[in-house]
Structure 1
Amino acid sequence: MEHKIDINERELKIRREKIWDYELCAEVLSLETPQTEKKFNENLKLLPELKKELTKKENILFNSILELNVLNKDTKNELTELTEELESLSKRNTNIPSQNIRIRDEICEGINCSQRELTFAGELLQVLKSESHWEGAIEKLLHHFALCLLVPENLYSKVNTYAAKNNLKGRLVYLKTDKKPQLKNFRLQSNSLISKLEINRKHELSDWIESYVTDNFDYICTDDMQEFNHAAKAVTSAGLIKAKIRHEKDDRPQRSGTQSFVLSWDNIQKRRELSFRLDKLKTEIEKNTEKLNKYKIKQDEIKNKLIILENLFKLTIWDEIDVQKYAAALNASHEEKAKLLKDDKELNQLEERLKLLKEERQSKETELSTFTQEKGRLEQQLADINLKQERMQIQFNEHYSNKDNEEIETLVLNFEKYFKINKGFENLDILDTAKENFSSTLEKETEKSEQSLKNTERRLREKMSALTNAKDEIKIKFPSWSADVRDLQAEVTALPDFKAFYERLNHDDLPACLKKFKRKFNDSVKQDITDFKARLDGGTQQIIEGIGELNKSLKIIPYSKNPPTYIKLEHRFTNDIQIKEFQGLLLAAIPDSASVFNKEADSEFENFKKIKTLISYLKENDQRRKKILDVRQWFIFAAIEYYQNDNTQKQYYEDSSAHSVCKGLRKRCLR
């Protein structure tokens, strides 16, 4: 009977625990706790659909969180850029972006000039307040030109050199300017682009920029589509731009609003717009973060529900949680036992005796467990002692098996003296502690020695690295230095290679080679490059003189009869990048007077490198070489038509127009 009661109690306990877990899970999933097998099976059928619904919600939340994270990242990046831009704008009055300002500042510092000497076109122009209706369209039209750096002639070569030799880490467009531009006298149309602009007259380039905008941005501003269709160049207030056959309209969000404006020497409005945008972005980030946190909480809740759902899937049989069945069985067993005890006194006595024996048995089992644990501890301690003894014996045999007793005794005495050992070890724990102290001391001394060795190796590598990565002045003085040390590695194992390199340097007669190189360079190379430039200069002078002689003849040849006019040819030096680059390299390759007369100046290597660069440039491209060595390509020719009666200018022709005029003159001469 007791065995039967024990079984029923265990089974009931298991089912109470399971029904308790089931109730908790059902409450989370909004399910009713079943009291019958029918309700249990109904819940079981609901689980797959519930899992499908929860999985769908989890996927939706995952995608929403992913989208919000990407949106927040983009918004934070824009916030950082706007903050940097506002900080930059607060330090100046113009609307030029901070990236362009940074490049301009680096160039100014590199060539030692002021920011006023290198100004952006946008810093000298702004839309008239009375024409604010056209501001957005004009900003889009002049955006790229406004970001052009205006370089005066006296700084042109320095800027070229700096830009060619340095990584600007950004885009730079610059224009070479002339302080005395040719301003054309004509009446401005009321709807012309230039009539809607204000020019900063306090700057010395104000006339130049007026001339440039008039020549290159001769647009009309009109919303009359019939006028727009007939015009060669036009722009509407909505930003539709027409340049002959090319049409453009850019309505991208980042190109709209005052925050993208770059014109004007007053940035108050742009700073106000950027500050408003900055506050808006901060609000967006806060809202997105708050929404993101809510989504994550919901996501955790759904994940928890899915885990609970998986636990419920494991309960497939009603008997596993049928508490009532096993509670009834236990009650029946207790009633049966009580009935038996009530009718039999001897059985009651045996029941009391059984209870005492159980208590005594429990006490003996507790004592046995305590003794067993102590026995196990002592056995483990003995095993540890034996293992340590075996290890020590092995170590002793490894180090001292080939030594006699006298040597061993001497070593032991030295060891005791070094560590000041007290021989009175009372137990094994003290011996272990002493051993740990010995090991710690030896490890510290070993680490100290290893650190000293590492420091020595580090200093050696630094010296080696200084040799393989020599300073620029050494590489300039010895051009082949990098090639000579290419195979040397800055490692301790390469020390023999460095010794061999040192011995080779001592063996080679470098001073004699240096003297021979200088003599050859000074005797012939300098003169050859100077003569080469002189021949090119002679060719350009012949062209200039030829144009002068030709103009004398053209003055007496009529170009048009009514009214009578004549043509005068004009030449300007070209701004062709390849030709300018070649001229810069040629000029740099000509030895200056200081290097010629200062015999102690070690400039031959530097001059030789410049000449070598020039020769390599000429060899790179045959078509380019033919072009840049033809001095006729160094000029841009134009034709000016004058009235013969008062020599005033009638028309200016350049590019294809000048070419047509010259063909017409040729026909007249042939007649």
Structure 2
Amino acid sequence: MVDVFDHADGETPPLPGYRLSKLEIYNWGTFDGAVYSVYPEGQTTLLVGENGSGKSTLVDALLTLLVRPQTRNYNVAAGAMKNERDERTYLRGAYDRTVGESGRPQIQYLRSGSGHYTALLACFSNAASNDSFTLCQILYLNADNSVEKVYAFCEGQRGIVQDLSHITSASAVAKHLKDRGYNTTSSYKQYLGWFQRKTSFRPKAMDIFNQTVAVKDVQRLDLFIRQHMLELKPWKNKVDRLLSHFNELSEAHRMLIRVRQQDELLSPISEAGVRYQARLDEVTAARKQLDACELYFAMESVALLEPLCDKWQQQLQFLADEITRLDELQDRCRNEIARLTVEIEHAGGDRLRQLPGLIEQAESISRVKLAARHRFEAQLRSAELQPQITSPDQFHKTRQLIHQRRNRLVEDRTQSRHMSSAIQFEIGSLTRQLSDDRNELEALQRRKNNLPESLIAMRDQICSDLRLAPSDLPFTAELVAVAPEEREWEASIEQVLYGFARSLLVAEEVYPRVSGYVDRTRLLDGRGQGQRLVYLKVGKRSESTRRTSSDETLVSKLLYRDDHPLTPWVRSEMRDRFDYLACETVERFQTTRGAAMTKNRHLRSGGWRHEKDDRARLGDRRNFVLGWDNRAKRLALSDSIRETEESLQQLHTRVAKLVATEDRTTAAIESLDQALQIDDFDIIDFEKHEFQASQLRLEMQRIEEADDQIQELKAHRKKLETEVVGYKSDRDRFIAQHTTRETELRNGQGLLNNARRTIEQTEINGRRALLEQEFETLSNQSPAPLSIENIATLPQTVAADLRDKHEKLRERLVPIAKEVTSAMTRFLKNFPDEQADLDADVAAISSFNALYARIASDDLPKHETRFKQRLNEKVLLEIGMLHGSLEGERQEIRNKIEQLNTALRLLEWKPGTYMRLEPSDVQDREIQDFRRELSACLNGTLDGTTEANEATFVRIEKLVAKLREEGNDRWRQKVVDVRNWFNFAARELVAETGEARSYYDGGTGQSGGEKGKLAFLVLVAAIAYQYDLDPNATHSNRLHFVMVDEMFSRSDDQHAEYALDLFERFGLQLLIVAPLDAKARVTEPYVGTYIHVVKDKQTHCSQLLSLTAEEFQEQALPEE
């Protein structure tokens, strides 16, 4: 390469390009009240000073003039936070931070917030073309503490004093500058455009200028490239927009899920509602038919009865006329018969006239007494008596038999009643026993002990009231059991321990509570019956001093529940109180001393008291209480229940037989009592009256056969009597018909009147037309047409059928209604906010259907559309834009690396070689997962199906949740910063052949010194590219100014010199900011101007001192 400082004729050529010739500041930071000027005159300048003297304030003034506000780095040398210094603090002259009276930090300022302005001015000159231009900014604070700016550009060199000294107000700055020949604007973009057109730098030149100021450590290549060569792009707004749109999408999705759930829950309501409505329509139709039934048959009855009543009326008139005619005929015949009877009497005598009456009287008496005889004999037969009675003597003997039979029957009935009462008492006793056994068996099946349910219920109530567990108050029987191999002794042991086993054991710690409770409480079992309770206070006691029981004692035949804390006390009590000797023989029982027992419940206690109790209650296994295994007791109870049921069945059969016998005996007694009411044979003696009537008929026959004239008169009379009988028969028939017709007419007219009233009432109610609509259906459903034969039954039958049909339909409606209301309840439970307008009632079916229809036709499509729109048009768009921006930035980084490589191609690394940067994707799991998840959010979005949209939403939701998660800032900043997606390496290539030589991974060269060297090379290449510098050009109209702030403070001298040589190679003017220490010496060969910044501790104002190299050596640097 050609060194830009080589010159053919040995003369020093002018410094290339536009270079900083002058910097002026007014009211900027701690430079207060006057115009402070720096005159580099295009040469590299060293700016030194102690920390806090104001070096960074000058650097930030140049940054303000050259770099866009959004990206400039204020006070970066001090490692300041982004917002620690800003334009406001510089405008007001912040110089210190103290703690106020309230304990809060308080910033100290040199200037008030308003009433002044700040001016920054920089002049750049090109010595080769003898051209220059001036950049100027005027800043001031508005009333709302916002910063107002005027950007200005002017050809030539200008100054603050000459151009701004006559400004009277900040608002007049723009006009004043225009009047002075400046171009002014409030837009940085336009201001930058003037600057860029003048110096022809690339769009990112001021960004690399800004980054160069921030370069402090160049030890690692990839970090250096990420932090200083590549710009951090703003991603927060994009992510915030995505989160904001996703919030809207999430809300749309929530609403969509809500309406989908509503649609899902309303669907069964609608389906069941259709079935309910269909069934309800059937019920309504049946109700209408039932309501119309009365009117239908009323109108049918009118149609039937009106002609019939007219016909019956005519028939009645005809029958009345016929009856009158027959009455007249009968009267004539009877008159003639009376006349003939008189003639016969005159011809035959009074006897013949008396005989018919006497015969009729005898026959009547005979009939009455014959009926009495039949009743009397039937009553005797019912009592199993069948005597022959033909005389008063026989009648008297029969009455004696009746008395005897009655007394015997009464005795039999009394005996039967006594037997029945005894059996009923036994049935009652066995029934109670059966109930008790069943209850006890049921209770035993729920637990394992053998105690009666009454004791368990009483104990449970005590425990419940005192908040104790049943195990806290055990019965002795629950802790003691008879060993299985000693079952033959079980009955005797149960008898000995009868009272002790049923005693409740109360530990000392709960004794006061239990005792107090028992004293004030009536003890009841589960059925409310009063109970007897024996309870024992259990305290600590020493082991029994009694001898160890032998195998022949009661105690040796027992088992104990060792897992209960009261068992030791029980075991000790057993040895002390119940150490009975178990005697196999009665002889042993008789001769032994002390307490003893046999297997047959024969007991001896106290040495002289003997007891044997063979009552079934004590020897019955059902009454055993010891132990915690009740299987044997349950088996005994089951056997007892079966035997009791069989006994009860037999007893009920016997009672039934006795009742039947008693009923027969009572009936026989009642019959005999009725027979005894006949106390005279004459009452039943009908034979003598039959004989008397026969004798009177014979007498009348003899008299009649004695005279022919009488016979002729009688024959004529007989004929007339026959005619009278015929007339009478016809008349009776007509009267019967008349009565029938009259009844039919009366009933028919009653029915007709009722029917007319029904019709009239229906017309008054205005329901006739509505009910008549059901007539055709009723006509089809009627089993037969209405007729006079069925008019009394058919309407009731049809109405009953319709009523039954209606009831059955209503019953079939109930489960459907329940299904509907259950579905409604589920809906309202899931969506309680709908309860204000909806009730879980079949009456609300229409409201639910309306909601369902609205959701299906309006809400669901609307929310699906809204969800799709917000997914596709907003969230996916934002996802796509974020993805595209990140991928675009990724490609932009690759392009920028290629740009750097273009510049690096112009710089030798070693003789005949150059360096090439190689970016590669970082193998970081978090970044890879983020890129994959972000890309996955866009997969399948073209399908447009509900399933695809849901899947896309789930993927986006997962990604957004991570982006939104609080405390996840590190991850978010890492994955969204595309600079972190790359690792950077450098490869050394031979210029002529392109052959690869060395490879530097992330700046880790073959030696430690090569790391910084390579980083500086990349930095200068980046500047040269963005400034569009050609190191081989003899003249330049490009910007050649760079600021570095403490860049060489952490580098060794060799690497610092290498960097300075690179800057010089490209003809770059440097403003080097360095602390006041020996490290600044390395820059001396390259520096043409020295500036020393000092700060007055009294006034807190900064000052600028221009030094020569010698003055710098003598005054500024500390001695080594």
1:105 has 2:460 as partner: yes
1:75 match: 430
How much identity, in percent, do the aligned residues show? 24
Q: Which SS does the other structure have where 2:481 is aligned? A: strand
| Larger displacement relative to structure 2 (308-317 or 141-150) | 308-317
Amino acid at match of 1:26: L
Are positions 1:119 and 2:474 aligned together? yes
Structure 2 match to 1:235: 597
* 2:554 aligned with 1:199: no
Unaligned segments of structure 1, at least 5 residues: 371-671
Decide whether aligned partners of structure 1 residues 357 and 319 sit closer, same or farther in structure 2, where only a CA change above 3 A counts: farther
The CA deviation string for residues 424-463 of structure 1, in whole angstroms up to 9 with x for no partner, is: xxxxxxxxxxxxxxxxxxxxxxxxxxxxxxxxxxxxxxxx
TM-superposed deviation, 1:53: 0.8
Hey, what's the Cα distance between the residues in 2 that align with 1:139 and 1:53? Answer: 54
Structure 1 pair 4–358 and aligned structure 2 pair: CA distance change class (3 A): farther
Does structure 2 retain, via aligned residues, the 8 Å contact 1:94–1:266?
yes
Match of 1:283 among 646, 649, 668: 646
Instruction: Please say if residues 126 and 197 of structure 1, whose CA atoms lie closer than 8 Å, have aligned partners that are also in contact.
Output: yes
Q: Which deviations, in whole Å up to 9, do the C-alpha atoms of 1:129-163 show, x marking residues without a partner?
A: 22222111111110111111111222211211211
Mapped partners of 1:218, 1:33: distance in 2: 81
Deviation at 1:220, TM superposition (A): 1.0
Amino acid at match of 2:684: I
Q: Which residue of 1 aligns with 2:574?
A: 213
Aligned equivalent of 1:144:
499
Choose from 606, 629, 652 the match for 1:266. 629
Partner of 1:296: 659
Listed as ranges, the matches of 1:152-551 within 5 Å are 152-169=507-524, 170-178=531-539, 181-184=542-545, 186-222=547-583, 223-244=585-606, 245-343=608-706, 344-345=710-711, 346-349=713-716
The answer to whether the 8 A contact 2:622-2:637 is kept is yes
Give the match's secondary structure for 1:96.
Answer: coil
- Give 1:360 deviation, angstroms: 9.5
Deviations 1:354-388 (A, max 9, x none): 78889999999x99xx9xxxxxxxxxxxxxxxxxx
Q: How far apart, CA to CA, are the structure 2 residues paired with 1:5 and 1:357? A: 23
Moved runs in structure 1, 4+ residues, more than 4 A? 347-364
**Residues in 1 aligned to 2:517 and 2:379: alpha-carbon distance in whole angstroms:** 73
The 1-side partners of 2:726 and 2:610 are apart by: 104
Bigger CA radius of gyration: 2
The CA distance in 2 between the partners of 1:349 and 1:305, in whole Å, is: 58
Check the 8 A contact 1:111/1:158 in 2, yes or no: yes
After superposition, give the CA deviation of every residue in 1:524-581 in whole Å (9 maximum; x if it has no partner). Answer: xxxxxxxxxxxxxxxxxxxxxxxxxxxxxxxxxxxxxxxxxxxxxxxxxxxxxxxxxx
Question: 3-state SS of the aligned residue for 1:176?
Answer: strand
1:24 counterpart = 2:378: yes
CA distance in 2, matches of 1:48, 1:347: 56
Partner of 2:1038: none
CA contact (8 A) 1:228 1:234 kept: no
Residues 341, 347 of structure 1: 8 Å contact kept: no
Q: 1:97 to 1:247 in 2, by over 3 A?
A: same
Give the Å deviation of 1:338. Answer: 3.5
Match of 1:128 in 2: 483
Match of 2:942 in 1: none
Give the deviation of 1:211 after TM superposition. 0.4
Distance in 1 separating the partners of 2:671 and 2:628: 67
Amino acid at match of 1:102: A
- Cα distance, 1:181 vs. partner? 4.0
Where do residues 594-633 of structure 1 align in structure 2 (5 Å cutoff)?
Answer: none
Does residue 1:42 correspond to 2:397, yes or no? yes
1:105, 1:228 → 2: CA distance? 44
Task: Output the CA distance in 1 between the equivalents of 2:436 and 2:507.
Answer: 32
Corresponding residue to 2:451 among 68, 72, 96: 96
Measured against aligned partners, the alpha-carbon deviations of 1:594-616 in whole angstroms (never above 9, x if no partner) come to xxxxxxxxxxxxxxxxxxxxxxx
Q: How does 1:526-605 map to 2 (within 5 A)?
A: none
Deviation (angstroms), 1:61? 0.8
Q: Which moved more, 1:93-102 or 1:218-227?
A: 218-227
Give the Cα separation in 2 of the matches to 1:109 and 1:185: 38
Distance of aligned partners of 1:315 and 1:359 in 2 relative to their CA distance in 1, 3 Å threshold: farther
Q: Counterpart of 2:935?
A: none
Code of the residue aligned with 1:292 in structure 2: it is V
| Alpha-carbon distance, 1:33 to partner | 5.0
Please give the alpha-carbon distance, in whole angstroms, between the structure 2 residues aligned to 1:43 and 1:105.
74
What TM-score do the two structures reach when normalised by structure 2?
0.31
SS in 2 for 1:119: coil
Instruction: Provide the rounded CA distance (Å) in 2 between the counterparts of 1:54 and 1:110.
Output: 63
1:13 aligns with 2:374: no
Larger relative contact order (Cα-Cα within 8 Å, sequence gap ≥ 6): 2
For the Cα contact (< 8 Å) 1:181–1:207, is it kept in 2? Answer: no
Greater helix fraction, Structure 1 or Structure 2: 1
Deviations 1:15-74 (A, max 9, x none): 221122123212212222525225434322211211111111011011111111211111
Distance 1:179 1:90 in 2: 35
Aligned-partner SS, 1:11: helix
The answer (yes or no) to whether the contact 1:341–1:348 under 8 Å persists in 2 is no
Count matched residues.
Answer: 369
Matched AA of 1:163: V
Contact kept in structure 1, 2:549 and 2:579, CA below 8 Å: no
Q: CA deviation at 1:100?
A: 0.4
Q: Distance in 1 between matches of 2:594 and 2:716?
A: 125
Give, as a single letter, the amino acid of the residue that structure 2 aligns with 1:148. Answer: S
How far apart, in 2, do the equivalents of 1:153 and 1:45 lie? 85
Tell me by how many angstroms 1:171 deviates.
Answer: 1.0
- Residue aligned with 1:72, SS: helix
Decide whether aligned partners of structure 1 residues 205 and 181 sit closer, same or farther in structure 2, where only a CA change above 3 A counts. farther
Separation in 2 of the partners of 1:131 and 1:82?
26
Q: Which amino acid aligns with 2:495?
A: K
Which residue of structure 1 lines up, in the alignment, with residue 1092 of structure 2? none
* Contact 2:460 2:470 (8 Å CA) reproduced: yes
Q: Counterpart of 2:633 in structure 1: which amino acid? A: K
Counterpart residue identity of residue 308, structure 1: S
Change (3 A) 1:185 1:12: closer
Secondary structure of the equivalent of 1:87?
Answer: helix
Structure-2 separation of matches of 1:226 and 1:188: 18
Cα distance in 1 for partners of 2:591, 2:404 equals 65
Moved more, 311-320 or 347-356: 347-356
Q: 1:45 to 1:180 in 2, by over 3 A?
A: closer
AA at the equivalent of 2:636: E
How does the TM-score come out when normalised to structure 1?
Answer: 0.51
